[in-house]
Amino acid sequence: SQQGEEDPQALSIQEGENATMNCSYKTSINNLQWYRQNSGRGLVHLILIRSNEREKHSGRLRVTLDTSKKSSSLLITASRAADTASYFCATGSYNTDKLIFGTGTRLQVFP
């Protein structure tokens, strides 16, 4: 079953703008991860945030986690055309040995 629902499903922006994607989930988690998938390729891990963390940064990426609302957001600042891809959140928990992926946000960055 899907754990995460992402919003928006699709997002189109101009280079230089910021892109924000949101992920909501249903059950208790011990971490939430974001992955990127270029068209026709495999997924690549971007960033992991643990359930006891509220915010994390990595380069142009900023992830927030609100466990009370069961939601996370991924912010990509100063976007580039090369950021065009699908972005997925995935959740892990203490009692399940797999990651459950969300439905994804398709980001298009126009030069």
Q: What would the x/- binding string for other proteins be over residues 67 to 106, using CB under 8 A?
A: ---------------------x-x-xxxxxxxxxxxxx-x
- 45 scored as a contact of other proteins (CB under 8 A): yes
Q: Which two tokens stand for residue 68?
A: 């009370």
Q: Tell me the three state secondary structure of residue 82.
A: helix
End-to-end CA distance of the chain: 37
Q: What count of other Cβ atoms lies within 10 Å of the Cβ of residue 28? A: 12
Q: Which of 50, 54, 57, 80 binds other proteins (CB under 8 A)?
A: 50
User: Which of 43, 65, 76, 109: binder of other proteins (CB under 8 A)?
Assistant: 43
**Residue 80 CB, nearest approach to other proteins (Å):** 22
Q: Which of 14, 16, 44, 55 binds other proteins (CB under 8 A)?
A: 44
Question: E strands along the chain, which residues?
Answer: 5-7, 10-14, 19-24, 31-37, 43-50, 55-58, 61-66, 71-76, 85-93, 96-101, 105-110
Binding site for other proteins (CB under 8 A): 2, 4, 30-31, 33, 35, 41-45, 48, 50-51, 88, 90, 92-104, 106
